[in-house]
Structure 1
């Protein structure tokens, strides 16, 4: 069966995620309203501006719908701003969040836009070859609960983690030709 994956398309890098998913053979739905969630097998929350996306999620109760789907085991993958929105706690911020992952996140943890960088990450769950990772005003997970699996760290900071049906990365896998992160997420959909 062909996977039908939703990409939250309110703001941010949703087009790039769409292209990767289509390359991997998925049907992709750009999610802009609550009715767009109908029939999806997974959801990606892209990078962008987490405060802006959070405000937009309050319209039409989209955030409440994502919370409901997340607690019903729909696989959800948040990249960069998506990682921030998935976390239960955001350091020094009371901004809107989905409150799904048992994590504490720090925004802009590696510096401002000019401090953006690329690096090779070792992700044992994805084999021995390093993964090229693009960090843009990236967050990191300062704390994770015991039920959260750490998939990768950069300089001692958690930048990739999984909690059951939830996946979060501080980096932007949609900006490199390496398809392993998206394939990992599609494999999570198969599990659920």
Structure 2
């Protein structure tokens, strides 16, 4: 599903957000969160602190929120998921809808390594990242329920599937970060999901 065409003003807004976000990540990765100010980020990005606050409420948000259109991106993932043909399994359809985001992580390796390093080292950033994803949980559960034809209020499957696949996403990103991005994040995600779909067999085929 192609992205909607954006006007000049909207493109400028997204570009400025990206410039501030990538600058914030770079400075925090280099100096540490406590040693970076909003003024530092603004100066390095070539804008005023007033402009910074048009985009972010805090330096923490600048590190965590990679894109200005986060809500729209989340909705596009749901739309792609729901548009996937029914012959594709629901777990695979969900992961396929995430592939564009994972491809962008691979393409922006240094930025995402810096962001994950900062989040790992600063509990406040970790809490902010978790809170940022909170609003996507219920719409995604409802999308899964809609695709499989169940009521999410009485059927465990939609919530369980989202929790399980969320674990696969986190596992892939953690291993990607531990390997310093030398392997493809998208390949790790595919591997994680294949392991889940196979029943999470133990390495080497060990049985209980």
Class of the TM-score when normalised by the shorter of the 2 chains: under 0.3
Structure with greater strand percent: 1
Higher helix share goes to which structure? Answer: 2
TM-score, normalised to structure 1's length?
0.25
